[in-house]
């Protein structure tokens, strides 16, 4: 499993990455939306893209909007509200709260299985 992760907070990037690597996944972790966009368009082979919502510069939703998605995109945020959920659904993205990384990984596996 190869995952692209964008989050402006180093502790979150570190902890999510370490958890995923422990499961044998490969993780590219970037700190803002622009870098996420760049990586997504120049690198093949991501199975899933995980985006923090609140980042300086492009927000998660704004990145999702610009992505030509073929892979599942998950907005990973502590600040989920109805408005954000609605926007995510419109873009065909998923959302998950920032509480349980095991849950995040479970969701990724579920979505990737569906694609396959």
Q: Note the residues at the interface with other proteins (CB under 8 A).
A: 8-12, 14-16, 18-19, 22, 31-32, 56-57, 78-79, 97-102
As a whole number of angstroms, the distance between CA 64 and CA 75 comes to 9
CA distances from 26 to 2, 21, 35, 66, 84 (A): 5, 6, 17, 24, 28
Nearer to other proteins (CB atom), residue 45 or residue 56: 56
Nearer to other proteins (CB atom), residue 62 or residue 69: 62
What is the torsional sign of CA 8, 80, 5, 37? negative
Minimum distance, C-beta of residue 16 to other proteins, in the bound complex (Å)? 6
Nearer to other proteins (CB atom), residue 12 or residue 71: 12
Minimum distance, C-beta of residue 40 to other proteins, in the bound complex (Å)? 19
Nearer to other proteins (CB atom), residue 1 or residue 12: 12
Minimum distance, C-beta of residue 26 to other proteins, in the bound complex (Å)? 17
CB neighbour list of residue 70: distance below 8 Å, 6 or more residues apart: none
Structure-token pair, residue 49: 């893209």
Minimum distance, C-beta of residue 20 to other proteins, in the bound complex (Å)? 10
């Amino acid at each position: 499993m190869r995952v692209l992760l964008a989050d402006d907070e180093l502790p979150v990037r570190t902890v999510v990455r370490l958890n995923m690597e422990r499961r044998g996944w490969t993780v590219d972790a970037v700190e803002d939306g622009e870098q996420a966009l760049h990586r997504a368009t120049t690198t093949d082979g991501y199975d899933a893209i995980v985006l923090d919502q609140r980042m300086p510069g492009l927000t998660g939703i704004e990145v999702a909007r610009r992505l030509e998605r073929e892979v599942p995109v998950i907005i990973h945020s502590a600040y989920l509200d109805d408005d954000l959920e609605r926007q995510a659904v419109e873009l065909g993205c998923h959302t998950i709260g920032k509480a349980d990384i095991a849950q995040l990984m479970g969701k990724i596996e579920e979505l990737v299985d569906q694609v396959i």
